[in-house]
């Protein structure tokens, strides 16, 4: 199967600090990785798409300077929430794709971020 590991699963941080979330494809090389945000009882909202070795493509309304994405290798992408505030508290989920197609994307376990 295709396994995507996301770490940490839960993090609590103080307002103003930065938090890094890792997403790894364990048994395949991920050409493309996606970062989503999910609010309670709401759908997954795509934040950005990242391709290995290039800059991420952010969705409209997502601050690229606040949500830094690095896709340094074919198996690792990171999302850094900079200067976090309570309104950034949410469930963040990554997915990794074997190809350029969304249909081959597999999801990580998600990270529950709480900013206090």
Partner 1 sequence: QKEVEQDPGPLSVPEGAIVSLNCTYSNSAFQYFMWYRQYSRKGPELLMYTYSSGNKEDGRFTAQVDKSSKYISLFIRDSQPSDSATYLCAMSGGTDKLIFGTGTRLQVFP
Contacts to partner 1 by CB under 8 A: 4, 6, 34, 41-44, 46, 49, 59, 91, 93, 95, 100-103, 105-110, 112
User: Distance between CA atoms of 48 and 34, rounded to whole angstroms?
Assistant: 6
Q: Given the complex with partner 1, which of 54 and 103 has the nearer CB atom?
A: 103
User: Distance between CA atoms of 19 and 85, rounded to whole angstroms?
Assistant: 11
Q: Are 91 and 111 in contact (CB under 8 A)?
A: yes
Q: Given the complex with partner 1, which of 28 and 106 has the nearer CB atom?
A: 106
Q: Given the complex with partner 1, which of 75 and 95 has the nearer CB atom?
A: 95
| Closest approach of partner 1 to the CB of residue 59, in Å | 8
Task: Name the phi and psi angles at 88, rounded to 5.
Answer: -85, -10
């Amino acid at each position: 199967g295709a396994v995507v590991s996301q770490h940490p699963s839960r993090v609590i941080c103080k307002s103003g600090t930065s938090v890094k979330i890792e997403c790894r494809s364990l048994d395949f090389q991920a050409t493309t990785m996606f970062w989503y945000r999910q609010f309670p009882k709401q759908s997954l909202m795509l934040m950005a798409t990242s391709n290995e070795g290039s800059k991420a493509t952010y969705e409209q309304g997502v601050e690229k300077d606040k949500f830094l994405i690095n896709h340094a290798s074919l198996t690792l992408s990171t999302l850094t929430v900079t200067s976090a505030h309570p309104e950034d508290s949410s469930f963040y989920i990554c997915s990794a794709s074997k190809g350029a197609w969304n249909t081959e994307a597999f999801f990580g376990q998600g990270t529950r971020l709480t900013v206090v």
